Amino acid sequence: MEQLTNKIIFLTGGSAGIGLECAKKYLQNGAVVVIVANTAESLRTAKQILNNEKAHFILCDVANAHDVEQAIKETLQLFGQIDVIHNNAGVAQPSSPIHNTSDDEWDRLFDVNVKSIMLTARYGIEALKKSTGCIINTSSLVGEIGQDNHAAYAATKGAVNALTKSMALDYASCKVRVNAVAPAGVWTDMLRKWSNEQPDPGSMERYLNNIHALGYCPEGDVVADACVFLASENARFITGHIMPVSGGAELGYRVVTVPEPVVL
Ligand SMILES: NC(=O)c1ccc[n+]([C@@H]2O[C@H](COP(=O)([O-])OP(=O)(O)OC[C@H]3O[C@@H](n4cnc5c(N)ncnc54)[C@H](O)[C@@H]3O)[C@@H](O)[C@H]2O)c1
């Protein structure tokens, strides 16, 4: 049964990876999906893959206030309402300890992963208040437990978690729910790039399977199913929740094959 019939979903980073899987599931559940991404090529590819007239595509850098304002304006002009804002776009470079992170890398990480959430809220909150809609943020397990050689990225996801809880409190009186999903690893271009940057890329597949208690590193469909739930009426009394979609990766106390530690 469709869980999101005629909901208008504004989905950032929906042209690839986890976002593209979310777009597929949102469409399967009867929603109209406005897919926002920063490269025309990835939008074209997503359009071909989705091949669905209920999918709409907007070129937009989520770190740019003007772009986000225009994208939300266009969505409202086309569809008259927004029921869900899913802040999913993200970047993960560099794989470095904090002292090797440049100012530009730091700024880009925080602009794309964190500031974007402020911008979609700034331009989209009035629409969500009208629809008593919800916000979903794609966080990461590393925002809670940290990650070696990836401090700046982990810090952005810690900020996403704090924002999710604080925004949930701010908007609860307007009946706007705010939740996050927190995957560990998910096979996407982002993860493949990160894997290739590790000291022993050949060992990463086994490592990524092992860190998940359920024994494998998933594709984005598992995250998408959780997002459909959070966007739906079934989650009507859930707000401020950071939902792990991590095959138990956060539970610890297991023997895992770890790569050699990096000597700083
Ligand atoms: N893949 C993982 O293992 C993993 C784990 C935990 C959390 N996450 C998070 O999931 C989200 C999606 O990651 P993914 O693995 O699917 O990545 P991906 O690189 O496969 O896809 C990223 C998407 O975001 C878009 N994007 C990037 N920068 C943008 C910008 N400035 N403006 C607009 N769109 C932009 C890209 O065009 C693409 O559509 C990210 O927030 C990421 O941090 C990923």
- Structural Rg of the chain based on CA atoms: 18
**Structure-token pair, residue 195:** 């894997």
Q: Is residue 213 part of a domain?
A: no
For 62-86, what is each residue's pLDDT tens digit?
999 999 999 999 999 999 999 999 9
CATH number, position 236: 3.40.50.720
pLDDT of residue 53: 98
Q: Is residue 262 part of a domain?
A: no
How does residue 199 score in pLDDT terms, banded at 50, 70 and 90? confident
Q: Is residue 131 part of a domain?
A: yes
Q: Is residue 63 part of a domain?
A: yes
Q: Is residue 192 part of a domain?
A: no
Diameter over CA atoms, the chain: 55
Which residues line the pocket of ligand 1, CB cutoff 6 A? 12-13, 15-19, 36-39, 42, 60-63, 88-92, 112, 138, 140, 183, 185-186, 188-191
Q: Does residue 171 have an active-site annotation? A: no
Q: Tell me the pTM.
A: 0.96
Could you give the percent of the chain with pLDDT greater than 70?
95
Ligand 1 center–CA 91 separation, angstroms: 6
Domain encompassing residue 38: 8-186+218-251
For 147-187, what is each residue's pLDDT tens digit?
999 999 999 999 999 999 999 999 999 999 999 999 999 99
Ligand 1 center–CA 240 separation, angstroms: 22
Q: Is residue 208 part of a domain?
A: no
Q: Is residue 196 part of a domain?
A: no
Element (H, E) at 126: helix 116-131
**Spatial separation of the C-alpha atoms in residues 84 and 87, rounded to whole Å:** 10
Count of domains forming the chain:
1
Selecting among 153, 171, 216, 253, the annotated active-site residue is: 153
Q: Is residue 37 part of a domain?
A: yes
